[in-house]
Amino acid sequence: KMNSKICFCTFFIVGKIYLAVIGQSVFGLEVYKELRKEGHTIVGVFTIPDKDGKADPLGAEAEKDGVNVFKFPRWRLKGKGIPEVVQVYKATGAELNVMPFCSQFIPMEVIDHPAHGSIIYHPSLLPRHRGASAINWTLIHGDKKGGFTVFWADDGLDTGPILLQRECDVEPDDTVNTIYKRFLFPEGVKGTVDAVRLIAAGNAPKIVQPEEGATYEGIQKKDNAKIDWNQSAQALHNWIRGNDKVPGAWAEVDGQKVTFYGSSLLDSGATAIGQPLEIPGASQPGLVTKAGLMLFGNDGKTLLVKNLQFKDGKMIAAARYFSSGSSASVELTEEEKAFGVWKSILTNVDAIEDSTDFFKSGAASMDVVRLVEEVKLRASGCQLQNEDVYMNTTFQDFIQMCVRKLRGEDDEEELVVDYVEKNINNMTIRMPHQLFINGEFVDAEGGKTYKTINPTDGTAICDVSLAQASDVDRAVAAAKEAFEEGEWGKINPRDRGRLLYKLADLMEEHQEELATIESMDSGAVYTLALKTHVGMSIQTFRYFAGWCDKIQGCTIPINQARPNRNLTFTKKEPIGVCAIVIPWNYPLMMLAWKTAACLAAGNTVVLKPAQVTPLTAVKFAELAARAGFPKGVINILPGSGALVGQRLSDHPDVRKLGFTGSTEIGKHIMKSCAVSNVKKVSLELGGKSPLIIFSDCDMDKAVRMGMSAVFFNKGENCIAAGRLFVEENIHDQYVKRVVEEVKKMKIGDPLDRSTDHGPQNHKAHLDKLVEYCQTGVREGATLVCGGKQVSRPGFFFEPTIFTDVQDHMFIAIEESFGPVMILSKFKSGDVDEVLRRANATEYGLASGVFTRDISKALYVSEKLNAGTVFVNTYNKTDVAAPFGGFKQSGFGKDLGKTC
């Protein structure tokens, strides 16, 4: 479920320089660290004075390294350098000044003093957006391209010659924060270090800035960030996102100043249900919806704002504007009351009370990062974001928010589920019935639905949303964003594993409900559903949760390693968006087998359950949301294979597709995946698994396990023994024994604990089984028992036994996928002949052999052409053992380390 990448690296040495680093912030810190790694000597770090007793990160790191640190409050007075400051600087002997995000005015005699001069980082493509608010104006103006410039410093006017520039696309919903984190910060650090490398090598250009295209709009301040509502939705969106976080775009709402954060443009013609909010000057009232605050431009188009902040610093989700003060307090345990890390950060506060405000007590944005990281260390189950601190600024609000997250209550409040409730199996089950896309249960396009049928009595269970092609596109887009931009791609593997463990725990808490839904929707006997359908699903998620932090690459010895100092290593990387199409025989277990491995590897998932058995998949989606999986990581789309499955096969943003189903459909999917974008494919397809029973077997076990091999899960089992070859000298005895056992089987309600055999999954499959058996009779096979629909409501079919089955017959060649035992004799002692007959099929999923002769067992196991061979047992799959087929039973593996 991962890509394997080979990286070839060459390490080389460039000239080294004595550097002075003049600047501040985490950006300055990262530049400083990278320059030291390059081997340059830092002769001095010049940063800003401590604030509230706290050193700037750049200065703090340099002090730990023993580098000389200077914290001048200013460098010049009345436009001229302060002599004693300039003298201290010159004494360091710097050959180059590197100024990453330097906010102080540096005199020209310092800038020009080093042999190599001075370079400075600026977050725009100069000459456009000169000045301190360059990122803001890039967004406010709606620029399609952004980037940064490293230029030769001038007198603080951003007009010096250009040394290096790098650009990036500005995404439609980029904010100051996202474009900074995605590109300007990481690439800016690399670019600044590359600039120093060019200077050290003597290759650094000096390109004079043109005046054409130059702009300078000035610093964005709170006073001039007020929103002018007489603009298009695009312009409003640009203004809000361009002022995001600092200084914050604001407007008067209900007589108070409200700041807007987290803007995104909505599709043209988007509509929503919500509560109107009057906004003075706006072309029409805003709309408080469950997704946020919808705003309207003067062109009638819309945008959505996620968060609002009030004058006192309190931030709320915009969706909660009308209910922000109504949430009840959580009653804390004594242990939870002791949880808190504020004291180590707010060192200037004597006592922290419930009403203590984080920011009013002197905390800054860097303290938010520190607080979030410390909480994660102390409480690994608390998935905290910087935004959570801004939205819970008082100690009481913050601690209660953390406790809600730890208890799993926070997500439960957010998740809106429209349940279908039924009192059944001595419990009340609550079933979601909508699509699950980007963390929300939503209706399909056009409100399309279909009825899922209870095979026990043929009645409708409920209406289920029927996904359309546009729903597939939305789900894939959500999965792609979650993978490329979201939290899922950033959390470390161990935290990913914790989420999988938490999901498994929730599934275990709801196992009786899941088993009841599975039994009702698929016809599985409840006790089997509880043990296998649900039980193995839970085991699968726990197994793969343990693999999350153990996926490793390796280093590879190569001939060119010396003397050129080349290093070659492999890196295991997630693939991206994985599409999963699962069958109806084990709805939850097939979901688990494929989904758990994808998630453990760091991929995101769009899953289509079988149209006839969607209910445990959408219930699973609810549990995943409550476990805390980020939005977009898991998406569930009930719908038809011809539409949803085909669109997933064709979709260019899907990077792998896993399918379990018929060989015919598998071939079609493989072709579509190849034509679309050569996406990876794993296929588990049809089977006709042979089971060979030799006369030296343990007869009791061979009868018991042979029954299980055929009739387990009503025969709706991909590895079911499709044909039994019984040595002729025990054949009649074996047939007599299995007929006796079949007659003991109780056919009935799958929720009845004494039932052995429930209904077939759906009407079309029942009809196929009837026709299958009629074909066997017409061809001359002996129908010993069964072969008919049971005379009762629902889709019940009698357990069936055929003997005298010849190799050319339809039932000897084709899979029934039902409770039909196909028995053929083979000559005593003729091992190679029965192996030839067993392998005379295009399928190769599973097989089995019963014998007390260990040599014979090993020989037969080696010669059988199948992905799994059972010896003196059957159906013993385990999550640690890889599973997959040979020939037209498909390729690729589920489960195990190598999946």
pLDDT at residue 136 in the model: 92
Active-site residue, from 382, 548, 718, 773: 718
pLDDT class for 266, splitting at 50, 70, 90?
confident
Burial of 154 (C-beta count, 10 Å sphere; 0-12/13-18/19+): middle
Q: Is the pLDDT of residue 330 over 70?
A: no
Question: What is the rounded average pLDDT of the residues 612-625?
Answer: 97
Query: By C-alpha distance, which of 432, 472, 718 is closest to 584?
Result: 718
Question: What is the rounded average pLDDT of the residues 484-498?
Answer: 89
* Percentage of the chain modeled with pLDDT above 70: 92
Query: By C-alpha distance, which of 785, 701, 472, 802 is closest to 607?
Result: 472
CA distance 34 to 12: 15
pLDDT at residue 591 in the model: 98
Pairwise pLDDT comparison (315 vs 637), residue with the higher score: 637
Computed over every residue of the chain, the mean pLDDT equals 90
pLDDT at residue 414 in the model: 60
Which residue ranges are tagged as binding site for NADP(+)?
582-584, 608-611, 641-646, 661-662, 768, 815-817
* Bridging pattern class, strands 427-432 and 292-296: unpaired
pLDDT at residue 4 in the model: 59
CA distance 250 to 240: 8
Q: Is the pLDDT of residue 334 over 70?
A: no
Neighbours of 153 (CB within 10 A): 24
pLDDT class for 409, splitting at 50, 70, 90?
low
pLDDT digits (tens, 9 = 90+) for 687-732: 999 999 999 999 999 999 999 999 999 999 999 999 999 999 999 9
Which DSSP category does 394 fall into? B
pLDDT at residue 381 in the model: 61
Question: What is the rounded average pLDDT of the residues 250-270?
Answer: 86
Question: What is the rounded average pLDDT of the residues 813-834?
Answer: 97
Q: Give yes or no: 684 in active site.
A: yes
Q: Is the pLDDT of residue 411 over 50?
A: no
151, 162 Cβ separation under 8 angstroms: yes
Q: Is the pLDDT of residue 394 over 80?
A: no
For residue 454 the two structure tokens come to 């209870």
pLDDT at residue 492 in the model: 86
820, 710 Cβ separation under 8 angstroms: yes
pLDDT class for 380, splitting at 50, 70, 90?
low
Q: Is the pLDDT of residue 626 over 90?
A: yes
For residue 592 the two structure tokens come to 């688990």
**5-9, 517-521, 524-528, 580-584: least confidently modelled range:** 5-9
Q: Give yes or no: 718 in active site.
A: yes
CA distance 227 to 251: 6
Question: What is the rounded average pLDDT of the residues 770-792?
Answer: 97
Question: Which domains does the chain carry?
Answer: 18-201 (3.40.50.170), 233-323 (3.10.25.10), 334-407 (1.10.1200.10), 419-557+564-685 (3.40.605.10), 690-891 (3.40.309.10)
pLDDT digits (tens, 9 = 90+) for 243-258: 987 789 999 998 899 9
* Helix/strand/coil for 686: coil
Active-site residue, from 684, 716, 727, 798: 684
- Alpha helix positions (H), 379-468: 386-390, 395-407, 409-414
Active-site residue, from 122, 237, 433, 651: 122
864, 885 Cβ separation under 8 angstroms: no
Q: Is the pLDDT of residue 338 over 50?
A: no
pLDDT digits (tens, 9 = 90+) for 4-36: 555 444 444 447 899 999 999 899 999 999 999
pLDDT at residue 3 in the model: 67
pLDDT at residue 11 in the model: 41
Neighbours of 586 (CB within 10 A): 27
Question: What is the rounded average pLDDT of the residues 110-125?
Answer: 95
pLDDT at residue 368 in the model: 75
pLDDT class for 848, splitting at 50, 70, 90?
very high
Q: Give yes or no: 548 in active site.
A: no
Pairwise pLDDT comparison (381 vs 237), residue with the higher score: 237
For residue 559 the two structure tokens come to 């001939």
